[in-house]
Amino acid sequence: MQVEPMTGAYMTWYGTLGDEGVGGGLPGELSSEANSQTVIAVDIFRDLVRNGLCPCSPGIATVGITTRTLEIFRLQSLQCPQLSIKAFVKSLCDIQGVPFKPYLQVQFSIAFDVYLNILGHIHGRVQAALGRDSSDWRLANACPCCLYHVEGEPELQFRLLGTWDGGNSLKRLRRNERAEAFDQTDPPQLAKSKEYTDTRDAGGDYYLSREEVNQWSKEAIKEMLEGKAEDSEPNPCTERWKNLSEELTAKMWGVYDETGVFLSLCRHSFVLLIVDMVASGELAKYPLAILNRLFEVIGEGIGMGYDIGCAFGTTVANSPLGEKVEHLRFTSLVGAFHGHAHSRLCQTSHLCTYIKGLGIEHLEQCETFFSESNELASSVHHMSVFHRRQAIARFCYHHDNLEAYSRLSKFLVDNYKQAVDIQATLPALAKTMSDLGIPSVDTFNQWLKEEKDYLSGLKKEPAEETVQMEYYKKLVKLEDAEFKLIAATREWVSYTPGNISQAFGRADQTRRIETQRQHAIENRDDLKKEVRTLEVQLGVKDWWTSGSEDWEKAKKMVVMAKYQRALDKLEGLVVARLFELTKLNMSRTGYKLQTYIANALKARSQAIRTAVTSYNDAAAELSRPQLTWDQVIKYSFLSDFDLLRDARRDVRSELWSQPAGRLALDQYYKLLRAPEEILRLNKEICSLITYIHEETAYIYIRLKAEEIRQTDPLLSIQIIKHGWERGRCNEMHLIRLRKLEKMPGFTGSLTPGRGVLYPLVQAAMEADVQSQSSTLNDHDADEDAPPPDEDPDEEDNALAELIAVIQVSSD
């Protein structure tokens, strides 16, 4: 089918509908003599709609679906993503009183594809008319608050705050040929795919291509990094958070082609980019590919939250993007929810609460998006590659322009109120500090450093004890080697006149004895060399002997070291658990969040069980008290952990380890983040107001539409329609923000600034002034009236006038 002529025909038909568009009254009659052929019209109410048809086949069409019906299904499927074409066609059959037949579903699907193609071409024409048809324009302007820059706005540490994560609900089953026999190979080999190649691209500017993503595969990165030294700084969460291994994914995801999507959002939930996860879990190449594009389009000052953000920070630093990460100030962050499932040592460096410039942002928007997109999952599992991407891209466009944008002002207002409420707790913190004897707020920073050093210290033994214990172990081994050498030297085979005839058959046994003796000599000599080396390091003059004072002291130290290592491991796990459990008792933590955190901590219970067993084995050698699982799991706070009195450092008496001190520490860092959040919100509110003022009130409605109407009135109608996708919510945004302006603690401004479109807005406003001046002259205006720019109430009424302009634009 020729889409361009059909696009023009659709715009002509749409132009005849009047201002109300598809939602208006009934269309005109369909001429029965059109092309002298019979056309079956399918609509919700038979015989009411008789024009605006979409064909179901190329060439001569004998069946057409009305545009109204297709538009109703398009909107309903966006609001209810689980609604399938089959269910909708069955409903049409029920309304019209005819039996459902499978070919009707196919015909409707073809017509719907044609309709979406037409809408896509119209969208392309609108974007071209607005000068926004570049491939990266949507990404560079995805969010009005994050990316709409206003002259004189403050410089923030994070220019863009976002989050990314993988979700496997939007996976798609691969269509394979029927296997003749069950494959018992390891890993199992799947049957060949029977899918045909579809070259159509339905992802638009939301998706990154597979080719671009594969440039960041493990093999490609190895080639790019050949000869470069890798930074191997250890990460405390590396072993806990792992993506699926290739062997595991081959078995688990083999039946799928796309196993889900890897999604990136800004902090206001606008979609930035999407990539398909192909026959794998969350591999590093997905966020690396997205990050590379974000660097190219957005630039510096990006902070992205990730459930494994701590480990990914190490990965990206060792990748070819390492230099850009440092130059463009990229920060890999951990979201607040997932952060409390990380080790406490990781939290002290990566948790949102402790990151300067982050405000009160939680960086968990992906979970909300996936919760909403789960409704789409059932309908995309069996789609083709093209239709799956088309459905996901449609969902994202609808989510951005109707869902995320409509909730934008509510997000700003709610966060502002929360930040102001946090600031109001400053007197309570001051009283707590006085009650606890905390001299200044600098103490809290010192506490966090002490806690980090303490948890880090649990992972290693003191250096001064290590060499002494190693020397003692070598002496024990040397003593054992001496006994083995003596035993090997004294071993021989005795022959008598009765068995002398067997001597010639025992040559192998004699060689074995001699070999053992030679090995014993070599082992003793090697140990002597190692002992002498350690003696030089320790400055030992007299060789330690069994029973000597130094010998017994070192022996006790070695036994205690085994106990201490078991205790340190158990302590590290339990202390981290206790610190994280404090989150369960924090205010503003809902029951569901508490439940999820508790489940995350329960996943770590097996590690604690193993550590308890190792501890009990070591404690038995020192006659220390044994521990049971119930004793460990029931501890409420660090001060209840009596085992710490046997640790190298007893921190139970430290104020930062006690419940009151920890609550004060948490409250202090919240108070640090609240002004940062208010500063960011003031900037974002100004950006939104300016966006509404420049984008909707002048460019879409008053400037571009009027300009293009002279040459292409049909395209002008589509521009107005496109602008009203978001414009319908602007009045609601302004009303919410005006209420916020009256709230105590508000420090921002609702006066529009000068954004990227200001020159065009200024030109339009000057044209309006000239038009008004001409009108006044024609009607003999009062000479004593003050000119408009001298009205003392003009600045106070700026926002009200802006609302009025938007209302006029809608009319």
Domain parsing of the chain, residue ranges: 3-129, 137-177+200-225+237-404, 463-493+504-544
429, 455, 443, 232: which is closest to 348 by C-alpha? 455
Q: Which long-range contacts (CB under 8 A, 24 or more apart) does 660-663 make?
A: 660/432, 660/436, 661/436, 661/447, 662/579, 662/582, 663/432, 663/582, 663/586
Which of 214-228, 259-273, 586-600 is predicted with the least confidence, judged by mean pLDDT?
586-600
Query: In which region does residue 753 sit, left (phi positive, over 0), alpha (psi from -120 to 50) or beta (all else)?
Result: beta
Residues 26, 46: Cα–Cα separation, whole Å = 12
Residue 549 or 230, more confident: 549
Amino acid code (one letter) for 721 = K
| pLDDT at site 734 | 93
Residues 250, 735: Cα–Cα separation, whole Å = 53
| pLDDT at site 591 | 58
Number of other residues whose CB lies within 10 A of the CB of residue 136: 12
CB 354 within 8 A of CB 448: yes
| pLDDT at site 431 | 92
Residues 517, 486: Cα–Cα separation, whole Å = 9
pLDDT tier at 676, thresholds 50, 70, 90: very high
Under 8 Å CB-to-CB from 388, ≥6 apart: which residues?
170, 172, 258, 380
Q: Dump pLDDT digits (tens) for 759-803.
A: 766 666 666 556 555 554 554 444 444 444 444 444 445 555 555
Which ranges of 61-217 does DSSP label H, i.e. alpha helix? 67-79, 85-96, 102-129, 137-140, 144-147, 210-214
pLDDT tier at 811, thresholds 50, 70, 90: very low
Indicate if the pLDDT at residue 469 is higher than 60: yes
| pLDDT at site 287 | 92
| pLDDT at site 808 | 47
Number of other residues whose CB lies within 10 A of the CB of residue 146: 23
Indicate if the pLDDT at residue 15 is higher than 60: yes
pLDDT tier at 743, thresholds 50, 70, 90: very high
| pLDDT at site 665 | 87
| pLDDT at site 617 | 86
Which of 371-380, 542-551, 664-673 is predicted with the least confidence, judged by mean pLDDT?
542-551
C-alpha torsion angle, residues 313, 315, 321, 323 (rounded to 10): 70
Mean pLDDT computed over 609-625: 82
Residues 517, 491: Cα–Cα separation, whole Å = 9
| pLDDT at site 225 | 63
Residues 319, 323: Cα–Cα separation, whole Å = 9
Mean pLDDT computed over 424-436: 91
Which of 14-18, 253-257, 432-436 is predicted with the least confidence, judged by mean pLDDT?
253-257
C-alpha torsion angle, residues 149, 153, 156, 159 (rounded to 10): 0
Indicate if the pLDDT at residue 366 is higher than 70: yes
CB 690 within 8 A of CB 753: yes
Which ranges of 424-548 does DSSP label H, i.e. alpha helix? 426-436, 442-457, 463-490, 507-538
Q: Dump pLDDT digits (tens) for 309-337.
A: 888 888 888 888 888 998 999 999 888 77
From edge to edge, which strands make up the β-sheet containing 258-266? 271-278, 258-266, 160-167, 302-305, 331-333
Mean pLDDT computed over 76-100: 90
Q: Name, of 50-54, 519-523, 542-546, 801-805, the range with top average pLDDT.
A: 519-523
CB 748 within 8 A of CB 682: yes
pLDDT tier at 735, thresholds 50, 70, 90: very high
| pLDDT at site 608 | 79
| pLDDT at site 621 | 79
Indicate if the pLDDT at residue 649 is higher than 60: yes
| pLDDT at site 768 | 57
191, 121, 385, 184: which is closest to 278 by C-alpha? 385
| pLDDT at site 623 | 77
Indicate if the pLDDT at residue 723 is higher than 80: yes
How are the residues of the chain apportioned to helix, strand and coil, as percentages rounded to the nearest 5? 60, 5, 35
Task: Write b or e for each residue in 683-710: b if 16 or more Cβ atoms lie within 10 A of its Cβ, otherwise e.
Answer: bbbbbbbbbbbbbbbbbbbbbbbeebee
- Note the pTM of the prediction, 2 decimals: 0.73
Residue 134 or 222, more confident: 134
358, 342, 361: which is closest to 583 by C-alpha? 342
Indicate if the pLDDT at residue 112 is higher than 60: yes
Which of 64-73, 81-90, 189-198, 292-301 is predicted with the least confidence, judged by mean pLDDT?
189-198
Distances from the Cα of 393 to the Cα of 390, 406, 456, 464, angstroms: 5, 19, 46, 61
* Beta-strand relationship, 63-66 and 331-333: unpaired
Mean pLDDT computed over 144-171: 90
Indicate if the pLDDT at residue 25 is higher than 50: no
Average pLDDT in the chain: 76
Q: Dump pLDDT digits (tens) for 563-587.
A: 777 877 777 777 666 665 655 554 4
Residues 347, 580: Cα–Cα separation, whole Å = 9
| pLDDT at site 782 | 47
Indicate if the pLDDT at residue 640 is higher than 60: no
265, 247, 283: which is closest to 168 by C-alpha? 283
Mean pLDDT computed over 675-689: 94
pLDDT tier at 810, thresholds 50, 70, 90: very low
Which of 42-51, 279-288, 371-380 is predicted with the least confidence, judged by mean pLDDT?
42-51
Instruction: Give φ, ψ of 263 to 5 degrees.
Output: -115, 145
Please tell me what DSSP assigns to residue 253: S
* Radius of gyration of the chain measured on its C-alpha atoms: 37
Residue 127 or 645, more confident: 127
* Beta-strand relationship, 40-42 and 160-167: unpaired
Mean pLDDT computed over 71-98: 90
From edge to edge, which strands make up the β-sheet containing 53-55? 40-42, 63-66, 53-55
